[in-house]
């Protein structure tokens, strides 16, 4: 038997490898195959150019279609409490993946109209959010069993970087072709997960319903509600992302003003992904040298400064420099917020609490920030660069709320090495 905290060896170490493959494949397909990654440009340009929709309607489309990602903690409770086909994970992974593939293929036959598209995209997101939630549960379970939380978290971030690097060029390539290509590509990506689960993840059957998870969740919610650090961290994250966004207006600006080709816009997304990886690596070094208070205040300032770079977004050449640089600085600026969120989550409610904070983030971005910015762009004719000023100024105002955070939460540095 392995000592407590030691990594399993021998036959157990061999058995964990198929689980790692399942986890890596699950993280990748639910990210790369998400409509907001490979489908970002095909969907948005179809809505903009074929259906002739203004920016605020495109933003509203995503606010509705991504509603499943606002309630991921609920999906986690359902999958933990109610087995499917006698298993806690395998049944949901196989069924959810099949449904994802079917909903992707539905775009081949569904009429190119707003309502049918938003309905199918919403159903696709529900299925994908369910699969992603179950993969996340399996990740936590595996990490705890094999004492590999740090390594699996690193795997998650590496795969996220790869998705962003590949997603831009693939999305740009698909955007200049018939939309059916996007539907088939999405279905193929999700289908590739089926044999991985079927062959490598042999979960024993006979799992029983466990509604005690809801009682546990109620206790966790009670703890979270009483947690001042949790409220403070969640509120700060919400305020940062609440600033009127320019994600959708930027696409209109890139096409209508700068006349950029969709494939080039996809290449810009690749540069942004590379910049984000560099920013994440830089924060991994800095967080061990600076107290969180310093990195958090510096990050909020840096976030506003990196946004102001878009005031010089006037050509293809400057777009390449700005997208890469702003992504690096933006990631360096935002990671202290996630660091704060992780520290503020009450002990015993880590997974559920952090999922709630991420849901708050998703609501702020997709449900409020981008729709508000797009509405101002369309109805008040606020130009792209005016939105840049507004976003940067709104983000900087969040500095006023930093003194409200618990001092103990901000004082500690990251440990120089993991035990």
Cα-based torsion angle of the residue sequence 338, 394, 320, 311 in order, rounded to the nearest 10 degrees: -160
Structure letter (DSSP) for residue 276: H
Looking at the structure, tell me whether residues 286 and 346 fall in a common domain. yes
Looking at the structure, tell me whether residues 342 and 202 fall in a common domain. no
Residue 343: burial class (beta carbons within 10 Å; 0-12, 13-18, 19+): middle
Half-sphere CA count of 51, side-chain side, radius 13 A: 21
Looking at the structure, tell me whether residues 178 and 99 fall in a common domain. yes
Which residue range(s) make up the domain with 163? Answer: 1-210
Indicate if the alpha-carbon torsion angle 104, 71, 45, 168 is positive or negative.
Answer: negative
pLDDT in tens, the chain (419 residues): 333 334 444 334 436 788 888 988 998 999 999 998 999 999 999 999 999 999 999 999 999 999 998 888 888 888 878 888 888 888 999 999 999 999 999 999 999 999 999 999 999 999 999 898 888 878 777 776 776 655 665 577 677 778 888 899 999 999 999 999 999 999 999 999 999 999 988 877 777 887 777 787 788 778 777 777 777 777 877 888 888 899 999 999 999 999 999 999 999 989 988 888 888 888 877 877 778 788 888 888 988 899 999 999 999 999 999 999 998 898 888 888 777 776 776 665 555 666 777 788 888 888 899 999 999 999 988 899 999 999 999 888 888 887 777 665 665 555 444 44
Looking at the structure, tell me whether residues 235 and 360 fall in a common domain. yes
Cα-based torsion angle of the residue sequence 27, 30, 31, 37 in order, rounded to the nearest 10 degrees: 170
Instruction: Please check whether residue 396 is in contact with residue 304, taking contact to mean a CB–CB distance below 8 angstroms.
Output: yes
Tokens (6 digits) for 360: 């708050």
Last residue of a domain, one of 210, 241, 262: 210
The CATH number assigned to the domain holding 238 equals 1.20.1250.20
Looking at the structure, tell me whether residues 197 and 219 fall in a common domain. no
Backbone torsions φ then ψ of 124, nearest 5 degrees: -60, -45
For 16, other C-beta atoms within 10 Å of its C-beta total 15
Looking at the structure, tell me whether residues 349 and 282 fall in a common domain. yes
SS3 152: helix
The domain total for the chain is 2
Looking at the structure, tell me whether residues 183 and 66 fall in a common domain. yes
Last residue of a domain, one of 177, 210, 243: 210
To which residue do tokens 């509600």 refer? 225
Last residue of a domain, one of 157, 178, 210: 210
Looking at the structure, tell me whether residues 408 and 297 fall in a common domain. yes
Instruction: Please check whether residue 135 is in contact with residue 30, taking contact to mean a CB–CB distance below 8 angstroms.
Output: yes
Looking at the structure, tell me whether residues 123 and 102 fall in a common domain. yes
Looking at the structure, tell me whether residues 206 and 243 fall in a common domain. no
187, containing H or E segment: helix 179-191
Looking at the structure, tell me whether residues 97 and 179 fall in a common domain. yes
Looking at the structure, tell me whether residues 14 and 129 fall in a common domain. yes
Indicate if the alpha-carbon torsion angle 307, 313, 317, 319 is positive or negative.
Answer: positive
């Amino acid at each position: 038997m392995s000592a407590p905290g030691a990594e399993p060896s021998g036959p157990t170490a061999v058995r964990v490898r198929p689980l790692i493959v399942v986890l890596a494949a699950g993280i990748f397909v639910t990210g790369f195959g998400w409509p907001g990654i490979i489908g970002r440009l095909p969907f948005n340009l179809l809505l903009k150019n074929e259906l002739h929709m203004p920016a605020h309607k495109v933003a509203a489309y995503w606010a509705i279609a991504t509603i499943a990602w606002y309630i991921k903690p609920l999906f986690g409770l359902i999958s933990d409490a109610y087995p499917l086909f006698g298993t806690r994970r395998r049944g949901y992974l196989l069924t959810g993946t099949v449904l994802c593939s079917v909903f992707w293929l539905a775009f081949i036959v569904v009429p190119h109209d707003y309502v049918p598209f938003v309905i199918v995209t919403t159903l696709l997101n529900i299925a994908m959010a369910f699969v992603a939630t179950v993969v996340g549960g399996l990740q936590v379970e595996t990490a705890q069993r094999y004492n590999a939380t740090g390594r699996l978290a690193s795997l998650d971030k590496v795969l996220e970087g790869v998705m962003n690097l590949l997603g831009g060029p693939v999305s740009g390539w698909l955007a200049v072709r018939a939309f059916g290509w996007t539907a088939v590509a999405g279905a193929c990506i999700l289908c590739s997960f089926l044999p991985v689960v079927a062959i490598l993840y042999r979960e024993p059957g006979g799992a029983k319903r466990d509604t005690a998870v809801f009682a546990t969740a109620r206790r966790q919610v009670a703890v979270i509600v009483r947690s001042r650090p949790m409220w403070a961290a969640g509120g700060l994250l919400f305020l940062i992302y609440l600033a009127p966004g320019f994600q959708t207006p930027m696409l209109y600006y890139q096409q209508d003003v700068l006349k950029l080709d969709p494939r080039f816009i996809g290449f810009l997304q690749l540069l942004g992904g590379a910049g984000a990886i560099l920013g994440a690596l830089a924060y991994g070094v800095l967080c061990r040298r600076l107290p969180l208070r310093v990195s958090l205040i510096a990050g909020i300032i840096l976030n506003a400064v990196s946004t102001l770079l878009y005031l010089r977004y006037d050509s293809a050449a400057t777009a390449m420099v700005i997208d890469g640089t702003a992504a690096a600085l933006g990631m360096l600026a935002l990671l202290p917020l996630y660091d704060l969120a992780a520290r503020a989550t009450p002990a015993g409610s880590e997974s559920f609490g952090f999922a709630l904070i991420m849901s708050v983030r998703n609501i702020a971005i997709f449900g409020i920030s981008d729709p508000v910015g797009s509405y101002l762009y369309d109805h008040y004719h606020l130009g792209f660069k005016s939105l840049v000023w507004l976003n940067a100024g709104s983000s900087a105002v969040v500095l006023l709320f930093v003194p409200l955070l618990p001092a103990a939460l901000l004082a500690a540095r990251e440990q120089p090495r993991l035990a």
